[in-house]
Amino acid sequence: MDIEKPAAPQYTLQDRYQLLVEGIVDYAIYMLDPTGVVTSWNRGAQRIKGYADYEIIGEHFSRFYTYEDRTTGLPARALAIAETEGRFEQEGWRVRKDGSLMWAHVLIDPIRSEDGTLLGFAKVTRDLSEQQATKEALRQSEQRFRLLVQGVQDYAIYMLDPNGQVTSWNKGAQRFKGYSDEEIIGEHFSRFYTDEDRLSERPATALRTAAQAGRFEAEGWRVRKDGSRFWANVVIDPIRGEHGELVGFAKITRDITERRDAQLALEETRARFIQSQKMEAIGQLTGGVAHDFNNLLAVILGNLNLALKRLPPDPKLRQLIDNSIQAADRGATLTKRMLAFARRQELSTTPVDVPDLIRGMSDLLQRSIGANIPVGMHFPLKLPRVLADANQLELVVLNLCVNARDATPAGGTITLVAREAFITAEDVRGLKPGNYVCLSVIDTGEGMDAETLAKAAEPFFTTKGVGKGTGLGLSMVHGFAEQSGGRLILKSTKGQGTTAELWLPEADLGNAPQTEQQPEDELPRLDPVTALVVDDDALVLMNTTAMLEDLGHTVVEATSGEQALRILRRSKGTIDLVITDQMMPGMTGTQLVEAIRTEHPDMVAILASGYTELPEDTLIPVTRLTKPFGQSELALALVTSLRPEGFALPVRPKLP
């Protein structure tokens, strides 16, 4: 008996289209009525946008747009363009159900009846977030590479075709070869070689070696446009296509004429210079560590001072907090020394109490010198202050004591003595008439003969072995003394030790710059303001917020420059000022201030940083706040920024 098979389901053309649309998961395909309300929803739309059909049908499609796009009326314009022009197409940010953003390609087509009546719109959206991220990363990478190559001025970086014709030319090549890109592109690179090298076919040999061995490197004479010669280091690398075919060469040339001359004439000096370069690298590392330490100290000092205000009347507890503040202040002082060593600390000349300064660094001196050499100090009960940079003076004292230690390898003593002196007439030492303080570092070490003593303060001169000294120590002390209006005087006898006298002029306290800040109780009070605080360090951000709120102000927080800009755009003028950190990833504080001023020209800004390496030539006026700062410094910065005509703050002046 035959079993009758069930008839296959019959689908109309409309059913087939419906199944097709519903089966697509890589595109959001849905319908809108003429007003923009969603009337259908496929599986692709649910996957990409996150809404189930029952959640979104009947809702207006503008909810997929960002707040900024809705504010500018983009959804309504999109429908109007589609209706009038027959199509709307765009790429831009769209919002998923969970609030995340995606980069979308959008098509909107009008749907009309046979008589032309608008029935609604068909909307197709594709998520291009991954493609956009890849494209943007590639664009930024290419842009950075172009900027890198064009910005390098110490190297000639250019391209050659397989025959050796120049196809690109950077600023470094123009600077020390003398040709502009219009003059040299299309010319053969052999014109940079000497006649002797061209006769021996060295240019062709260089390209052949690079193509066969994968690299060519050499040093030799090269010729500038004006005919002069320079000694060059040359590297040539082959550039190959996807299938290994040779498409050209990358050529890097560096003018090392000075280095070659120094190698020929002063090989020993060159070795010491390399040592000084290593010290510079250590200084950069020290500066980076000090920057992070500054942030930690800012949090500690800020929180301790806020806690001190809220302490119950318990003398022992207050003493503990006071001791902690003193320890944190000592840490801040240490940080300043580290930044000064790294040349990232803004230095200023102030009245300095020499005995107090040396006593404050006594532990550091003893650790640096070692326990086997006793250090004595002899200071009068009262000594005038000197006008000097305290951080630099500390480094000078440390340098002189370390030199004294190295001069007493068999043991001995080091003594620091200070005295007041008055010079009535310019003497043989070059000191002008006036009041001075003479600080002497006296050791009982090996001493120097007359010939060595005459050269001791010359740059790069040292009696220490290779790698044990740069020969810059005493010359730096000499320069510091000269710039401070004083002198470095060395006295020594072979076998009888050395005395280094540092003469510094007394400070005129009536005209000396004042750095002491106004006590917090005397600070002018401001009406409550709303401040946007920006810092990528959560601890610093919380501490700054706490200090501002304790002063009665309202705080809005942001952890990046980009977030701060978004907050300002939504604030509708409710934010009075911005306080931003400088060293932040993505967007620095100076970049943020410049971006803010393009949209809010009158916005008050305060820049917090422990560094002085800021782009002063491009930065618009802004008050600076040095890290680590306390509540009093913060309050003074607020008053200076918001009421500059009524209160003068002794801080770094605003930039022009």
Q: For 330-373, what is each residue's pLDDT tens digit?
A: 676 666 555 544 445 554 578 999 999 988 888 888 887 887 88
Q: Which helix (H) or strand (E) holds 121?
A: strand 118-127
According to the model, what pLDDT value does residue 26 have?
A: 77
Question: How much is the average pLDDT of 253-258?
Answer: 84
* Better-scored residue on pLDDT, 70 or 449: 70
* pLDDT mean over 609-631: 67
Structure tokens, 628: 């680590």
Residue 76: pLDDT above 70?
yes
Instruction: Say if CB 597 and CB 572 are below 8 A apart.
Output: no
DSSP alpha helices (H): ranges in 342-472? 354-360, 362-369, 390-406, 450-455
Q: Which residue in 175, 183, 180, 207 sits closest to 193, CA to CA?
A: 207
- pLDDT band of residue 16 (cuts 50, 70, 90) is low
pLDDT at 519 over 50: no
Split at pLDDT 50, 70, 90, the class of 20 is low
Is 128 within 8 Å of 105 (Cβ atoms)?
Answer: yes
pLDDT at 44 (0 to 100): 85
Per the model's pLDDT, the better-predicted residue between 650 and 81 turns out to be 81
> Cα(50)–Cα(48) distance, rounded to whole angstroms?
6
pLDDT tens-digit readout, 307-329: 777 777 777 777 777 777 777 77
Using omega within 30 degrees of 0 as the cis cutoff, is the peptide bond preceding 110 cis? no
Lowest mean pLDDT among 296-300, 426-430, 509-513, 555-559: 509-513
Q: What local confidence, expressed as pLDDT, does residue 155 receive?
A: 78
CB atoms near residue 393 (< 10 Å): 21
CA-wise closest residue to 302 among 28, 548, 486: 548
Q: Is the pLDDT of residue 263 over 70?
A: yes
Flag the least confident range among 18-27, 130-139, 484-493. Answer: 18-27
Handedness of CA 441, 445, 449, 451 (dihedral sign): negative
| Whether pLDDT at 270 is above 80 | no
List the domains of the chain with CATH numbers: 13-127 (3.30.450.20), 152-264 (3.30.450.20), 267-341 (1.10.287), 350-505 (3.30.565.10), 520-642 (3.40.50.2300)
Residue 151: the pLDDT is: 58
Proportion of the chain above pLDDT 70, given as a percent:
74
Q: Which of 589, 578, 558, 595 is nearest to 641 (CA)?
A: 578
Residue 216 has pLDDT above 80, yes or no: yes
CA 521 to centroid of chain Cα atoms: 36
The more confident residue out of 473 and 406 is 406
User: Lowest-confidence range among 94-98, 498-502, 513-517?
Assistant: 513-517
What is the distance between the alpha carbons of residues 233 and 256, in angstroms, rounded to a whole number?
Answer: 7
Residue 397 tokens read as 């004292």
Choose between 11 and 198: higher pLDDT.
Answer: 198
Q: What pLDDT digit, counting tens, does each position of 388-422 carry?
A: 888 788 888 888 888 888 878 777 888 999 999 88
pLDDT of residue 527: 84
Q: What is the DSSP string of 81-120?
A: HHHHHS-EEEEEEEE-TTS-EEEEEEEEEEEE-TT--EEE
pLDDT higher at 15 or 134: 134
Residue 73 has pLDDT above 90, yes or no: yes
Looking from the CA of 395 toward its CB, the CA atoms found within 13 Å total 24
Is residue 543's pLDDT more than 90? no
- Residue 553 confidence (pLDDT): 92
What is the reported pLDDT for 611? 59
* Radius of gyration, alpha carbons of the chain: 36
User: Of 318, 320, 322, 393, which Cα lies nearest the Cα of 360?
Assistant: 393
Q: Other CB atoms closer than 10 Å to residue 141's CB: what's the count? A: 10
What is the chain's mean pLDDT, rounded? 78
Whether the Cβ atoms of residue 556 and residue 531 lie closer than 8 Å to each other: yes
Gap between the Cα atoms of 10 and 12, Å rounded: 7
What is the enclosing helix (H) or strand (E) of 605? strand 604-609
Determine contact, residues 367/331, Cβ cutoff 8 Å: no
499 phi, psi to nearest 5 deg: -120, 120
Q: Is the pLDDT of residue 488 over 80?
A: yes
Q: Which span out of 65-74, 260-269, 537-546 was modeled with the highest average pLDDT? A: 65-74
pLDDT band at 140 (very low <50, low <70, confident <90, very high): low
Tokens, residue 503:
């003469």
Q: What pLDDT is attached to residue 208?
A: 92
**pLDDT for the residue 199:** 92
* 216-223/229-240 β-pairing: antiparallel
The whole-angstrom separation of Cα 434 and Cα 420 is 11
SS3 of residue 491 by DSSP: strand
Phi, psi of 62 (to 5 degrees): -65, -15
Q: How far is Cα 605 from Cα 153, in angstroms, rounded to an integer?
A: 35
Higher pLDDT, 473 or 26: 26
